[in-house]
A = this chain, B = another copy of it.
Amino acid sequence: MSITVAVDAMGGDHGPAVTVPASLQFLEATADTRVILVGRPDAIEVALRRAPSALRARIAVQPATEVVGMDEPPADALRRKKDSSMRVAVNLVKDGAAQACVSAGNTGALMAIAKFVLKTLPGIDRPAIASQLPARNGEVTVLDLGANVQVSPQQLVQFAAMGSALASAVDHIERPTIGLLNVGEEEIKGNDVVKEAAELLRRSGLNFHGNVEGDDIYKGTTDVVVCDGFTGNVMLKTSEGLAHLLYEVLKAEFTRNPLTRLAALVAYPVLAAFKRRIDPRRYNGATLLGLRGVVVKSHGGTDVLGFRHAIAKAHAEVAEGMLERIAQGIAAMPMLAAESVSAADA
């Protein structure tokens, strides 16, 4: 089956200058796919000018007159901008014209619009933001990264079910191990929400490993780590800040004097390989999990390579049947399936 991805061409710090070339690179690399570029046709067409006709044939342009600002309050974007490129891209998923959408725009607005237009999956109270991070022996899937600053124990179980489905779809892990982020490995530690969540996870049927601590994330102790969105967001942004600081210190040491600059020259291929391996663009693309549709949020400031990774991620989630896996996972968990029934009754 050919997969179509709707791309919010106007989103992010660079708009079509990044989203359009990234879409072309994605199409070139991935057979049997199509992209719908959503936004101002004139701006998109300028960026498409030099596109090879074979790729151009796999692209449709869907006009949208408005753009959601990066700092616009999500409620305003939802209520007042019905013809924003972001909203129209999400609508395409709702209507079945596309199987996934990708946006580098305002995270809060994308979450609000996607939730309103697509609705959540049965058994899921609220969507979460998930992403893959590098770990010692591969990748680790972490959620929630900021959608829910306060969570219930039940929500943490939902995050675990969704994260498990995502890891099995994208990283091809049969029964991903789940870690519950806490301040100590002993069962007595942690706040009340985490303690109750651990109880629920133990009898959830998921492959629950138990509590993990902050340093377990990059160790890759478990395939999936679940936490509330406050902790997850701080964790992610702290990591970005630390990586940046370490990179700056390394650069400063290598440019200190002529001798260290010579060393940098000799070490350049190694440093480049190092930089490639930890390149955040390779991990670009956070999934808005729990919706009745695949929605991927790209970092706003990313470049063509990073945005291409986000499109490829959305594509992989569709190709690997992530939504079906989540639905199956939840159906197999009586504690969540029961809730979804009662929610439907209400």
Query: Which of A11-19, A259-267, A297-305 sits within the interface?
Result: A259-267
Residues of B within 8 A of A233 (CB): 183, 213-214
What is the minimal beta-carbon distance from A191 to any residue of chain B, in angstroms? 4
Interface size on A, residues (CB 8 A): 61
Q: Is A235 an interface residue (CB 8 A)?
A: yes
The answer to whether A188 and B136 touch across the interface, beta carbons within 8 angstroms, is: no
Q: Which of A218, A233, A242 has the most CB of B within 10 A?
A: A242
What is the minimal beta-carbon distance from A258 to any residue of chain B, in angstroms? 12
Closest to A227 in B: B234
Q: Knowing A150-B191, A253-B270 are in contact, say whether A240-B215 is a contact too (CB < 8 A).
A: yes
The answer to whether B264 and A241 touch across the interface, beta carbons within 8 angstroms, is: no
**Interface of chain A residues 224 through 268 with chain B (CB within 8 A):** 227, 229-231, 233-246, 248-250, 253-254, 256, 259-260, 262-264, 266-267
Task: Identify which of B189, B246, B274, B277 contacts A243 (C-beta below 8 A).
Answer: B246
The answer to whether A238 and B241 touch across the interface, beta carbons within 8 angstroms, is: no
Task: Identify which of B135, B249, B266 contacts A266 (C-beta below 8 A).
Answer: B266
Number of this chain's copies in the complex: 2
Q: Is A190 an interface residue (CB 8 A)?
A: yes
Closest to A185 in B: B71
Supplied contacts A218-B242, A231-B234, 12 more A-B pairs, CB within 8 Å: A136-B248, A181-B234, A183-B230, A190-B230, A215-B241, A217-B241, A234-B234, A239-B242, A254-B267, A263-B266, A266-B266, A266-B267
Can you pick out 29 interface pairs between chain A and chain B where the beta carbons lie within 8 Å of each other?
Answer: A73-B188, A149-B189, A191-B230, A213-B234, A214-B233, A214-B236, A214-B239, A214-B241, A215-B240, A218-B238, A218-B242, A235-B235, A238-B238, A239-B242, A242-B242, A242-B243, A249-B278, A250-B274, A253-B270, A253-B271, A253-B273, A253-B274, A253-B277, A254-B270, A259-B269, A260-B269, A260-B270, A263-B266, A263-B267
9 shortest A-B CB distances, which residue pairs?
A214-B237, A215-B241, A214-B238, A218-B241, A267-B267, A218-B245, A183-B233, A214-B234, A215-B237
